[in-house]
Amino acid sequence: MPSLQEFFAIALVGVGATAVLDAWLLLLQRLGLPTMNFVLLGRWVGHGLRGRWRHASIAQAPPVPGEHGLGWLVHYLVGVAFAGVLAGWLGWGWWRAPTLAPALAFGMATVAVPLFVMQPAMGLGIAARKTPAPLKSSTRSLANHAVFGLGLYLAAAALQGLAP
């Protein structure tokens, strides 16, 4: 079990990495590229909390009250959870002297969650195979998760820069 200080570090790194991802997604949006709609994430989680995790199309599922805020909250909580998994995998030695390669590899590995859990449950199929361009969608997801991995490294390095 992490100490309070370690939990705080995990939370800061998870939030920081997710913010880096959000900056990337904002850039993609400004370039006219489609990105994840966190309203749909909130809708999926909202329905899941009511017992329904699988949908033919989450976009066609009835809206859930507060789905927009819920989607953003879950997005950041998942970022913190992933940072916790990273801490468990690499241990605190990495956190004291973060390096890019493990964080990038871990971030890219987290793409398994949307490709093999979320997308099928939302009606998009495994690795978005039910979408018009599955390879493009999956490649974009991998790139987004690589940016999240970069964010893990940057946030951990920034945290170490602030530590006494």
With CA atoms as reference, report the closest residue to 156 among 106, 100, 74, 85. Answer: 100
pLDDT digits (tens, 9 = 90+) for 68-99: 999 999 999 999 999 999 999 999 889 889 99
- Would you state the pLDDT for residue 34? 87
Contact 154, 147 (CB under 8 A): no
Separation CA 40–CA 58 (nearest Å): 7
- Would you state the pLDDT for residue 164? 54
Query: How would you class 106 by CB atoms within 10 Å of its CB: exposed for 0-12, middle for 13-18, buried for 19 or more?
Result: buried
Q: Residue 2 above 80 pLDDT?
A: no
- Would you state the pLDDT for residue 162? 72
Contact 44, 118 (CB under 8 A): yes
- Would you state the pLDDT for residue 13? 97
Q: Please state the domain extents for the chain.
A: 4-162
- Would you state the pLDDT for residue 1? 76
Separation CA 37–CA 43 (nearest Å): 10
Separation CA 56–CA 26 (nearest Å): 28
pLDDT digits (tens, 9 = 90+) for 119-164: 999 999 999 999 999 999 999 999 999 999 999 999 999 998 876 5
Q: Residue 7 above 70 pLDDT?
A: yes
Separation CA 70–CA 142 (nearest Å): 24
Separation CA 3–CA 65 (nearest Å): 36
pTM: 0.93
pLDDT digits (tens, 9 = 90+) for 8-54: 999 999 999 999 999 999 999 999 998 989 999 999 999 999 999 99
